[in-house]
Chain A
Amino acid sequence: DTEVTQTPKHLVMGMTNKKSLKCEQHMGHRAMYWYKQKAKKPPELMFVYSYEKLSINESVPSRFSPECPNSSLLNLHLHALQPEDSALYLCASSHRQGYGYGYTFGSGTRLTVV
């Protein structure tokens, strides 16, 4: 299995809702990442998990809460989002965090906040 699977593919949520994005990989990768991508812009790093521990938080607002319950799963919990948070959310994984390892991306979750 050489894929990163993201669910759901599309999500529409109100500003008072709580929702979660899910990311799963079974490649034995021990580093997992969340990226946010706005239209016609490159992906921007949000969080990095290494061996199930949060390694990097790129000053992301607390309304985004990541969780890595095991080595295969990465969640992004969403609460009280703003319309400007509407974007494509991409999950990626790599063998390890660090030099020399390529990334595998999922197909993304298209989030719309209304």
Chain B
Amino acid sequence: KQEVTQIPAALSVPEGENLVLNCSFTDSAIYNLQWFRQDPGKGLTSLLLIQSSQREQTSGRLNASLDKSSGRSTLYIAASQPGDSATYLCAGPRGGNQFYFGTGTSLTVIP
């Protein structure tokens, strides 16, 4: 059974800081991992999808890495902005069929 854990559960940073969100999974036979952003009461917006053959993916100020051997993924956000405030969720496959979600990190960027 795949267990996905995210640390920290909540994070508050001043605007402009670089930050790292962590995601840990128990099943190293992971095929991919996807990072999402969710604004309060809204749906999920896909940020980055990392295939198992990749080590990292980048999109703008976001960079996600995947280390299967240690069972960890990180999401790096550069030069944080108040608009980055949201809950960030990582999701990994369970049984290779569908994603199950981590517990989420609630990010607040203070102007």
Contacts and interface: CB of A to CB of B under 8 A. Distances in A.
Interface stretch (B12-20, B40-48, B61-69, B71-79): B40-48
Nearest to A31: B98
Interface string A57-91: 00000000000000000000000000000001010
B32 A103 contact: no
B91 A103 contact: yes
Contacts of A101: 32
Interface of B is mostly: strand
B53 to A, nearest CB: 9
Nearest to A58: B98
Interface of B: 31-32, 34, 36, 41-46, 49, 51-52, 89, 91, 93, 96-104
A48 B102 CA distance: 19
Contacts of A56: 97-98
Nearest to B93: A99
Contacts of B44: 43, 90, 92, 103, 105
Closest 7 CB pairs of A and B: A42-B101, A107-B43, A102-B49, A99-B31, A105-B44, A108-B43, A105-B43
B96 A99 contact: yes
A42 B43 contact: no
A66 to B, nearest CB: 14
A55 B52 CA distance: 24
A103 B97 contact: no
Interface in A31-47: 33, 42-45
Contacts of A55: 97
B31 A105 contact: no
18 contacts: A42-B101, A42-B102, A42-B103, A43-B101, A44-B101, A48-B98, A56-B97, A90-B43, A98-B97, A99-B31, A99-B32, A100-B32, A100-B51, A101-B32, A102-B34, A102-B49, A107-B42, A108-B43
